[in-house]
Amino acid sequence: MSDPVMMMPKRMVELEVDGQTVKVFEGETILDACNKVEIDTPTLCFGETLQPKNACRVCVVEVEGARVLQPSCSRKAEAGMKVHTNSERVRASRRMVLELLASSVDLSTTSVAPEYLEAYEARPEKFGPQAPPDTHRDHHRAGHSAVTDGQLAATVYQGIKIDNELYTRDYSKCILCYKCVDACGEQWQNTFAISVAGRGFDARISTEFVVPLPESACVYCGNCIQVCPTGALMFKSEHDLREEGEWREEEQTVTTTICTYCGVGCNLELHVQDNSIVKVTSPPDHSITHGNLCIKGRFGFQHAQARDGAKK
Amino acid sequence: MDIKLLNVAPTEDEKEAVDLLLGPALSGWDGGERDALTDTRVAEGGHESREDRHLLLPVLWAVQDRIGYISAPALAYISKRMTIAPAEVYGVASFYMMLATEPTPPRVLHVCEDIACKCLGSDDLIATLQERFGPEGAVSADGRSTWHRSPCLGQCDRGPAVLMMEAGLEPFTRTYAPASTATALAVLSEEEGVAGTEPSEPYQLGDPSLRLLRRIGVIDPLSLDDYRAKGGYDALRAAVSLGPAGVIREIKDSRLMGRGGAAFPTGVKWEAVAQQPARPKFLICNADESEPGTFKDRVIMEGDPCSLVESMTIAGYAMGVENGFIYLRGEYPEAERALQSAIDQAYDRGLLGDDIMGEGFTFDLEIRRGAGAYICGEETAIFNSIEGYRGEPRSKPPFPVEKGVFQKPTAINNVETLINVLDVIRRSGPGYAETGTTGSTGMKLFCLSGNIERPGVYEVPFGGTLRELIDLAGGVPDGREIQAVLLGGAAGSFVRPDELDIELSFEAVREAKTTLGSGVVMVFDDTVNMHGILQRIAQFFRNESCGQCVPCRVGTVRQQEALARLASGKPRGGVETELELIAEIGGCMRDASICGLGQAASSAVESAIDRLGVFKEGAR
Ligand SMILES: Cc1cc2nc3c(=O)[nH]c(=O)nc-3n(C[C@H](O)[C@H](O)[C@H](O)COP(=O)(O)O)c2cc1C
Ligand code: SF4
Ligand code: SF4
Ligand code: SF4
Ligand code: FES
Ligand code: FES
């Protein structure tokens, strides 16, 4: 959310990151400081338009004097802090976080995954062959788990949910970054159609009693798709093209235009492949809409073209 | 907010359970009768009902207690009454082990499968239940009963333990410990006359050196008069004559350290809360006691409940706090009944509420029942749980003294910590500090369990040795040898039999790289299969992780898998490789997890590997 208007000029704090002195505004995070001196920091649950949930822990850094590593995306910079982003301790935790995720989640459409996994020399295969999908996953009892012989690495794999014509939910790809929940709920959409349910390894994004989206409160604004970093939430059009092996991102063009359905005038980014719109995003850095749209801007393109298979 | 609800009405019973707690619905807007004329002009509910969000867990309990599970229509009705989206209500309900969201019989027997009970035969009990009643979750022929495995029920001094929860018009929950197979089966089949447990009596009963336990087994816990006849409420009177600042000074002088596990100085916490300008402020007693092997708080609450009410009243007075909660784990029905009686009597006598003892200060106190989640003992998770959210820890800073429950300044203390306040007032701060060691003043309660002659709660001054404590409890039965001792619970660490001369004080155990944690001393003799114990500890953390952060959510699972491979003799790439893997996972959990659960989830396992050498060549 945008900061309230500040009447006083913001004060600066000076800290040290990997030996370099950095000045940032009071209230900015260690991540902001890292960005300022161009130190690459992996992030997954951080979203520029959302309050950080700091759940993934891939962005951790070492702060001298702190007992444990700190999430750079949400820990505020403090004057005199000495931060290390590349110590063995930091690298080991980041690597393990990536290995834990890659061994339990399908990261095939997480765009940053290959780069991160390589940079940290992650070897998710060390946990052994992956367990097959569990169709009962949405119904596990909290606080219970079956005894395991450990020979298969547990995964979050389950069937993909296709229950409407607009977007698909493949929670086998979900890293539980909470961004969709926050976008749907109090931070943006105020619809609260989805929540985290269950707990521990069984925690999952769900509607009430796992009802299909059309029976839920969902208004198909697609603001959850916009923030999802993994492709767990995906335009049906993109999903279908990928299934057909026809998704060719490198060939796509992106055209920015203004939505004409109402007077608000939201910015749209139309992703076009083979002369047809395949998905719609909205610029997250827009000062008014922050990447959010409504069903008309997000999915109304289906009226502008008769894409193969598009029904209405 | 868009609320879209199922168009299925709740049953009369479900509706009544909700309405009894929330009061009748006011209009069609919040689930009541629709009045076409008024309801189309004025919308009620909304903001006001959302301010009541903290009632969500009590409402979910009301339905659980009445029906045995929370059905979709009941959940939709709750959602409507409270103006909370159904997905959120479902997210909260499905977080807790004791709340069911799938059809479940009204009677559920929770059977402890945790480590102390393992030493006392719970594996056999579970095997027999599986054979004679049916597998976990199987429903009896009359559809009324089922059973489930449960983490530690806080009855480790008399395991194996079971807990029967019966839903209905008059819901009833009762503990049976120790539970023979015959008892468990009789309870499952609703046989009459199976006696529940009585409050534990300390073996030190009558010992004049007792301070914290001195009234337990001596007074009638349900009688405030009895409590007062044995010195009860003298401390509150003394506190009032000291004045709020005086009380805090005594607490600081006493150097009382928190007994909930983190050993934080209580006086510092209280002073910080007292100085906060924001209003209102809150006091929470952390009575979630779910660390496996811990049952000291239960013994206090069952045996001397008024002392907790008095301590909290003093704390409230000292910090200028007018509202207190006791966050009590749902598995403690006997403690809940005792505390509720203590609170009710205190209100009747003007010892709670407005103008206490005519001294012009106010303190209100209520119990909040947890619903089966170890993580809800973590202080910030408690806040979320009380507020009606999922019991996920928050990130710190901000710290509770500044922004705690309802984002207001909050002091949160363990039961045992609070009870010590009475002793501080009685002896003065410096007088209190004469007992114990420099860094650990006063008396300490230890929970002895496992293979020990006289399991139970023991009260000793800080500074004795582990050996003396084990001897006090009669040592290991049948002349067997100690294999290992678990200090501090599942989040603590194992020590070897040649380390028993370790001094029991916060500073000495820190030096020895172990912990007192919540005061658990669990003894394992040489017949115990440590692989089984470690696997259960690993499973405990897997089951209890809130699931918020990756290191803990997935790390606990990978740790459990690696231990299972080692225990079954099928390590991947050799034992050494597996041990390295466990250390790597542990490092990340300790370093990168959000809260203490993940940070300590590998502690006992790694100590078993490093200190006990459990997976060394030739070890069992
Ligand atoms: C996973 C976890 C579980 C905890 N459970 C409890 C508990 O059941 N009771 C308790 O008093 N403290 C528990 N704590 C410690 C509390 O967070 C907190 O430190 C304590 O209640 C503070 O009280 P004290 O200062 O009186 O010790 C737990 C901590 C963690 C990380
Ligand atoms: S499409 Fe919009 S309303 Fe539907 S779940 Fe996503 S964010 Fe919520
Ligand atoms: S579905 Fe996407 S946005 Fe939602 S929690 Fe999973 S990965 Fe994050
Ligand atoms: S460490 Fe575990 S219990 Fe704590 S916040 Fe992370 S997932 Fe939740
Ligand atoms: S990006 Fe910082 S914790 Fe996820
Ligand atoms: S009651 Fe069974 S281990 Fe504590």
Q: Which residue has the tokens 């970093």?
A: A229
Structure confidence by residue, pLDDT tens digits, B305-359:
999 999 999 999 999 999 999 999 999 999 999 999 999 999 999 999 999 999 9
Distances from the Cα of B369 to the Cα of B61, B95, B107, B243, B546, angstroms: 8, 14, 19, 32, 18
Q: How far apart are CA A14 and CA A7, in angstroms?
A: 22
Stretch A122-145: mean pLDDT: 96
Q: What is the mean pLDDT of chain A?
A: 93
Q: Residue A263 — pLDDT band, cuts 50, 70, 90?
A: confident
Q: Which residues of B touch A199 (CB under 8 A)?
A: 94-95, 373, 375, 390, 545-547
Chain B positions in Cβ-Cβ contact with residue A190 (cut-off 8 Å):
1-2
* Domains, chain A, ordered by start: 167-305 (2.20.25.90)
CB atoms within 10 A of CB B230: 15
Q: Give the residue-averaged pLDDT of B410-432.
A: 98
Question: In this predicted structure, what is the pLDDT of residue B547?
Answer: 98
The pLDDT assigned to A310 comes to 44
State yes or no: pLDDT of B523 exceeds 80.
yes
- Residue recorded with tokens 């959010």: A292
pLDDT at B241: 97
Whether pLDDT at B559 is above 90: yes
CA A214, A216, A222, A228 torsion: positive or negative?
negative
Work out the pLDDT band at A311, boundaries 50, 70, 90: very low
Whether residue A309 is predicted with pLDDT greater than 70 in this model: the reply is no
- pLDDT given for residue A312 in this prediction: 37
pLDDT level of residue B33 (50, 70, 90 thresholds): low
Average pLDDT over residues A225-229: 96
In this complex, the residue of A151, A203, A216 whose CB is nearest that of residue B547 is A203
ipTM of this predicted complex? 0.94
Q: What is the CA radius of gyration of chain A?
A: 21
Integer Cα distance of B22 and A169 in angstroms? 36
The CATH number of the structural domain formed by B443-525 is 3.10.20.600
Residue of A nearest to B104 (CA): A141
Q: For chain B, what is the mean pLDDT? A: 95
Q: Which of A167, A180, A205, A219 to mutate to test the pocket of ligand 2 (most atoms within 8 A of CB)?
A: A219
The predicted model gives A127-151 an average pLDDT of 95
SS3 B608: helix
What are the residue ranges of helices labelled H in B448-498?
Answer: 466-472
Rounded to an integer, the average pLDDT of B375-391 is 98
So what's the pLDDT on residue B420?
98
Nearest CA to ligand 5 atom 3: A54
Q: In what order do the strands lie in the sheet with B443-450?
A: B456-461, B443-450, B520-525, B482-487, B493-495
CATH architecture for the domain at B224-433: 3-Layer(aba) Sandwich (3.40)
Task: Report pLDDT for B5.
Answer: 64
Q: Note the pLDDT tens digit of each residue in B50-75.
A: 679 999 999 999 999 999 999 999 99
Give the number of other CB atoms < 10 A from CB of residue A246: 11
Paired tokens of B303? 């045996």
**Cβ of residue A291 lying under 6 Å from some atom of ligand 2:** no
C-alpha–C-alpha distance, residues A200 and B545, integer Å: 5
3-class state of residue B222 by DSSP: coil
Higher pLDDT, residue A90 or A7: A90
Please say if the pLDDT value at position A175 is more than 70. yes
Query: Once rounded to an integer, what is the mean pLDDT over residues B525-534?
Result: 95
Q: Which of A213-222, B32-41, B120-129, B431-440 has the lowest mean pLDDT?
A: B32-41
Average pLDDT on B408-433 reads: 98
Buried b (16+ CB within 10 A) or exposed e, B551-565: bbbbbbbbbbbbbbb
Please choose from A137, A174, A196, A238 the residue to mutate so as to test ligand 3's pocket, defined by most ligand atoms within 8 A of CB.
Answer: A174
Q: Is the pLDDT of residue A1 over 50?
A: no
The answer, yes or no, to whether any atom of ligand 5 lies below 6 A from the CB of A124, is no
Question: Of the candidates B76, B544, B585, which has its C-beta nearest A200's C-beta?
Answer: B544
Q: Which atom, in ligand 4's list, is nearest to the CA of B599?
A: 1
| B394/A70 Cα distance (integer angstroms) | 14
- pLDDT at B616 (0 to 100): 85
Q: Taking every pair of C-alpha atoms in chain A, what is the biggest distance, in angstroms?
A: 61
Lowest mean pLDDT among A303-307, B12-16, B123-127: A303-307
Mutate one of B588, B597, B599 to test the A interface: name it (highest A CB count within 10 A): B588
Task: Give the model confidence (pLDDT) of B566-586 as tens digits.
Answer: 999 999 999 999 999 999 999
CATH of B107-188, one of 3.40.50.720, 2.40.160.40, 3.40.30.10, 3.30.1740.10: 3.40.30.10
- Cβ-defined contact of B587 to A93 (cutoff 8 Å): yes
Whether B595 shows a pLDDT value over 60: the answer reads yes
**Contacts with A219 from chain B: Cβ below 8 Å:** 2
| B541 — pLDDT class (breaks 50, 70, 90) | very high
Q: Is B68 left (phi over 0), alpha (psi -120 to 50) or beta?
A: left
Q: Is the predicted pLDDT of residue B386 greater than 90, yes or no?
A: yes
Q: What phi, psi does B165 have (nearest 5°)?
A: -110, 120
* Closest-CA residue of chain B to A193: B87
Tens of pLDDT, residues B65-120: 999 999 999 999 999 999 999 999 999 999 999 999 999 999 999 999 999 999 99
Average pLDDT over residues B241-250: 98
CA separation, residue B119 to residues A12, A147, B126, B369, B529 (Å): 59, 19, 13, 29, 9
Q: Which ligand 6 atom sits closest to the C-alpha of B112? A: 2
pTM > 0.90: yes or no: yes
Ligand 4-lining residues (CB < 6 angstroms): B 375, 393, 545-549, 552-553, 593-595, 597-598
Residue A82 has pLDDT above 80, yes or no: yes
Q: Is the pLDDT of residue B620 over 50?
A: no
Question: HSE on the CB side for B298, CA within 13 Å?
Answer: 30
Identify whether the C-beta of residue B408 lies closer than 8 Å to the C-beta of residue B282. yes
B233, two tokens: 């409420």
Q: At what angle do helices B72-82 and B12-22 cross, to 10 degrees?
A: 30
**What does the alpha-carbon distance between residue B304 and residue B326 come to, in Å, rounded to a whole number?**
15
DSSP code, position A211? -
Does B119 sit in the ligand 6 pocket, CB within 6 Å?
Answer: no
Tell the CATH topology of B530-612.
de novo design (two linked rop proteins) (1.20.1440)
pLDDT band, very low/low/confident/very high, at A2 (cuts 50, 70, 90)? very low
Choose among B2, B94, B570: nearest Cβ to A197.
B94
| CB nearest to B543's CB, from A104, A127, A200 | A200
Which has the closest alpha carbon to A302: A104, A176, A166, A132?
A166
Three-state SS for B545?
coil
Ligand 2 atom nearest the C-alpha of A194 is 5
Distances (CA, A) of A103 to A56, A98, A123, B285, B441: 14, 8, 9, 40, 48
- A231 CA distance to ligand 3 middle (Å): 8
C-beta of residue B393 within 8 angstroms of C-beta of residue B378? yes
Which atom of ligand 5 has the smallest separation from the CA of A42?
1
Give yes or no for residue A46 CB within 6 A of ligand 5.
yes
pLDDT band at B618 (very low <50, low <70, confident <90, very high): low
Residue count (chain B): 620
> How far is the C-alpha of B414 from the C-alpha of B258, rounded, in Å?
7
CA dist., res. A276 & res. A252, Å (int): 10
For chain B, the structural domain boundaries read 12-93, 107-188, 224-433, 443-525, 530-612
Band of residue A49 on the pLDDT scale cut at 50, 70, 90? confident
Q: Which residue shows structure tokens 């960005």?
A: A35
Percent of chain B with pLDDT over 70: 94
